Amino acid sequence: MSRVIIVNLIRFVVLVLLQVFLLKNISLYNLSVPYLYILFILLLPFETPNLLLFLLSFLLGLTIDMFNDTPGLHAASCVVLALVRVLFISVTVQKDGFDNEPEPTLGNMGFRWFFTYSALLIVVHHFFLFNLEVFRLDEIQYTLLRFLSSAVFTLFLILISSFLFYRRKER
């Protein structure tokens, strides 16, 4: 097996276990819940075929749905996240000349690109997830507050974990 497959398989298992057994129980003022598991989708290599990306995203979301008793919410949100990832990478990577980099990590792409990439994808995922969860407009303020606070919390955890495992680009 390739090193990339093994690393991503370990990343998948660790992030799912971390989300299910630790982060599921963390909530700030019953508003903000971190969803660190989406880091798996964010860190998949650029060369990942789109069909495999959508399949892995659906599988990741379905796994989280099984543990959270949320039928299809995370699966649908992860597939939307994968779609936005494909669009964002197709717009920025060729234009900015990052063709030589194997995966979108903080060390490979730099802080500004990684922060923009992570923030955009987290906001889209959380917006879709929380609006699917509530699915009505009479609680829009509470939903937006939960969506924004959870997005900030998740972005904070993703940046912290990226700095913990930060490796400079080898030139």
Helices (H), the chain: 3-21, 39-42, 50-68, 73-96, 106-109, 111-134, 140-164
Residue 152 has pLDDT above 60, yes or no: yes
* Domain coordinates in residue numbering, the chain: 3-164
User: Which tokens belong to 80?
Assistant: 């939307």
- Dist CA 22 CA 7 (whole Å): 21
- Dist CA 108 CA 160 (whole Å): 16
Give tens-digit pLDDT for 114-151.
899 999 999 999 999 999 988 888 888 888 999 999 99
Give tens-digit pLDDT for 12-63.
999 999 999 998 888 778 788 899 999 999 999 888 899 999 999 999 999 9
